[in-house]
Amino acid sequence: MQNFKSNLPIVCVQGLGFVGAAMAVAVSEALDENGNPKFNVIGVDLPNNKGLHAIHSLNNGIFPAESNDQELREATLRAKVRGNLVALHDSEVYSSADIVIVDVNLDLGEFDSNQEPTVNFTNFNKAIDAVASRIKPGCLVLVETTVPPGTCEKIVYPKLNDWFKKRNLPADSFFLAHSYERVMPGEEYLHSITNFWRVYSGINEASAKKCEEFLMNVVNTKDYPMVRLLNTTSSETAKVLENSYRATNIAFIEEWGRFAENVGVDLFSVISAIRQRPTHNNIRQPGFGVGGYCLTKDPLFGRVAATQLFNLPSLDFPFSRKAVEINNAMPLVSFELLKNHFDHQLKNRKVLLLGISYRPDVGDTRYSPSEVFARTLIQHGVRVEFHDPLVKNWEEMNLSVSQDLPEISDFDAIVFAVGHKEYRELKLETWITKSDILILDANNVLSDEQIGFIKKRGLIFKSIGRGAS
């Protein structure tokens, strides 16, 4: 067992991915009025390559994922100096926990023979078993993982009860709550945990109060008040619904993007005008694609809950299904634009893809639309080179990624796919010297100044969401 410098409540964070690692750092930063930590934090992950990398990084005061958030990097180092954050792969540490935060993945599984979305709960169940078989009475289990609504009530709670009975411990002598994460990797990575609104609920009244007391130590609830819902299924529904809303909003704009491109309208300026109306200020915009861990799967969790947890097969979610289908196809719009520009003669063309992560200013490549785009280009014989300032190894493609911008003399096209700060601030006049290269802004990456330079130089320019003007 880790010997901490002081005797404080122990918080174990299960899963040290993009959410869990940041949550562990955020909890370690909870300080009292004298600047002393309120918790000792133990991050726990599996002894595989990813888990061991996260464990080694945190134990050395280094945040394990690439990020532009300087505050998060500094907070990770402060935790090491204070000595109140360690990372391990030993599940036995759960026996010492006063609070366990569950931040493990729950992935969408294969579609079944009827094309129904499914979730395989096997690994999630193993994670809950690892906790339930070891925690002491009075421990709070706080599930942050995005799950199909009903998971806490129908899976986690029964498992905890069953394990406590097997261990001859009083039933219901634990606390169980759900409070979903709204973590946004990027420049405000840490603040998306500590300075952002929280929704929470408990399996019972005591659990809800226990969860509230804990989160008030971590979250700035004075400026970002928390919302308590009636039960854990409501909280789980809130996360799935808000992500489904965003996904359908994005999908809706896609058809208008095609209209704008064909009739000579700049849809981004149109949307900017619409956003002046307060009731419409969150309207989305066209782009390269939808990626990441949430919007690509969460809209289907409603159907999963209906069929796998509540036995309600008649309840369907057609808008959510269609949104996922449309969003999955978004990268192919950029591909078709390239194909048409080169009169379907793509073989041996050379394309530079700028940006492979799923969103700006993060190094997360999970479900990145760049992967769909790149694989499609390669299938058509295109020679593709990749650049991303935050990604050195593209795991899904098993490729090393250049950190240096190449010379462009032999490229046929440059595709700006991700709005990284480095691209938004790129001095095109010192880099683009070739006049017959296609510049495709696939994701509203380029600034007005950059686009102005391109047009002034008479370069070949195309943009998703903008018609020729």
**From 3.40.640.10, 3.40.50.720, 3.40.50.300, 1.10.580.10, which CATH number describes the 10-228 domain?**
3.40.50.720
Please compute Rg for the chain using Cα positions: 24
Question: What is the rounded average pLDDT of the residues 315-331?
Answer: 94
Q: Average model confidence (pLDDT) for the chain?
A: 94
On the CB side of 72, CA atoms within 13 Å amount to: 28
- pLDDT band at 328, cuts 50/70/90? very high
Following CA atoms 182, 16, 363, 125 in sequence, which dihedral angle do they give, to the nearest 10 degrees? Answer: -70
- 244-303 residue pLDDT tens: 999 999 999 999 999 999 999 999 999 999 999 999 999 999 999 988 778 889 999 999
| Residue 182: Cβ within 10 Å count | 17
- 216-231 residue pLDDT tens: 999 999 999 999 999 9
Helix (H) or strand (E) holding 227: strand 227-228
Alpha-carbon span 116 to 148, nearest angstrom = 14
Q: Tell me which residue of 146, 137, 86, 109 sits closest to 298, measured CA to CA.
A: 146
Percent of the chain with pLDDT over 90: 87
Question: Which of the two residues, 61 and 187, has the higher pLDDT score?
Answer: 61
Using left for φ > 0, alpha for ψ between -120 and 50, and beta otherwise, residue 344 falls in left
- 24-33 residue pLDDT tens: 999 999 999 9
Q: The whole model's pTM is what?
A: 0.92
Alpha-carbon span 296 to 449, nearest angstrom = 33
Question: What is the rounded average pLDDT of the residues 187-191?
Answer: 92
- 362-415 residue pLDDT tens: 888 988 999 999 999 999 999 999 999 999 999 999 998 988 999 998 999 999
Both structure tokens of 144: 């942050």
Sequence ranges of the chain with CATH classification 3.40.50.720: 10-228, 243-463
Percent of the chain with pLDDT over 70: 99
149 pLDDT higher than 80:
yes
Alpha-carbon span 427 to 436, nearest angstrom = 18
Question: What separation in angstroms does the CA of 18 have from each of 184, 189, 229, 246?
Answer: 9, 10, 26, 20
- Listed in sequence order, the residues at least 6 apart from 287 whose beta carbon sits closer than 8 Å to its beta carbon are 250, 330, 442, 443, 444, 464, 465
Helix (H) or strand (E) holding 102: strand 99-102
Burial (0-12, 13-18, 19+ Cβ within 10 Å), 242: middle
Give residue 469's pLDDT: 58
Residue labelled with tokens 């706080």: 142
Superfamily of domain 243-463: NAD(P)-binding Rossmann-like Domain (3.40.50.720)
Give residue 467's pLDDT: 87
